[in-house]
């Protein structure tokens, strides 16, 4: 009987082991499917995170581009307002030159004196209107030559000035606010 009882116990252990093996084999596919689903979910989540980061970067670049565009157009608008009269003033500067030439060659005499005074008054009025617009004459004589402000038409020998100094102004240069309207034509010492 003991043998029979031992046989029965061994048989029960084998059945329990087989059941456990079958249960494990059935659970493995379920666990593998769950693991695959979790892995796919993690992969999809990672893809979505990367996509979200790319969209965030695109948004930031677009926002920076828009800010730069806004600043640039604001500056262009300010420059346009600041230099709106540039074309007109550029055309009026030669008239100013002609007034100066006319005054320099004014005839002498009693009648000519009153005429000269009248032209001088018109010249001063014209000059003050241009100054109100921001036009100023450059002072070039005695200054170091600067190609941004001066246009050298010849070099002359000078004992009074060092090399590269403006000796004579042939035609006045003008500035409109902080921009060169017309460079001064000058003679430079060598």
**149-168: per-residue pLDDT in tens?**
999 999 998 888 888 899 99
- Does 31 reside within a domain? no
Residue 177, pLDDT score = 85
- Does 62 reside within a domain? no
> Helix, strand, or coil here: 108?
coil
CATH code for the domain in which residue 149 is found? 2.30.22.10
- C-alpha closest to that of 183 among 152, 143, 142, 141: 152
- Does 138 reside within a domain? yes
- Does 146 reside within a domain? yes
- Does 184 reside within a domain? yes
Residue 52, pLDDT score = 94
Summarize pLDDT for 108-132 with one digit per residue, the tens. Answer: 777 778 788 888 888 888 888 888 8
Q: With b meaning 16 or more CB within 10 Å and e meaning fewer, what string describes 162-177?
A: eeebbbebebbbbbbe
Q: Which two structure tokens, joined as six digits, stand for 139?
A: 């002072």
- Does 29 reside within a domain? no
- Does 175 reside within a domain? yes
The count of other CB atoms within 10 Å of the CB of residue 119 is 14
For 176, the domain range is 84-189
Domain count, the chain: 1
């Amino acid at each position: 009987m003991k043998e029979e009882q031992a046989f029965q116990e061994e048989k029960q252990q084998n059945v329990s082991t087989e059941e456990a093996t079958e249960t494990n084999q059935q659970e493995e596919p379920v666990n593998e499917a769950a693991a695959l689903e979790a892995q796919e979910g993690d992969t999809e989540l990672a893809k979505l995170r990367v996509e979200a980061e790319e969209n965030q970067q695109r948004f930031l670049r677009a926002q920076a581009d828009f800010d730069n565009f806004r600043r640039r157009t604001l500056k262009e608008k300010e420059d346009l307002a600041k230099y709106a009269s540039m074309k007109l003033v550029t055309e009026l500067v030669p008239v100013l030159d002609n007034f100066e030439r006319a005054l320099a060659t004014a005839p002498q005499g009693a009648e000519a004196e009153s005429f000269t005074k009248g032209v001088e008054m018109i010249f001063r009025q014209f000059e003050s209107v241009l100054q109100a617009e921001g036009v100023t004459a450059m002072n070039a004589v005695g200054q170091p030559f600067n190609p941004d402000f001066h246009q050298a038409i010849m070099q002359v020998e000078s004992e009074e000035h060092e090399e590269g100094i403006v000796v004579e102004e042939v035609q006045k240069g003008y500035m409109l606010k902080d921009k060169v309207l017309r460079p001064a034509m000058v003679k430079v010492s060598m």
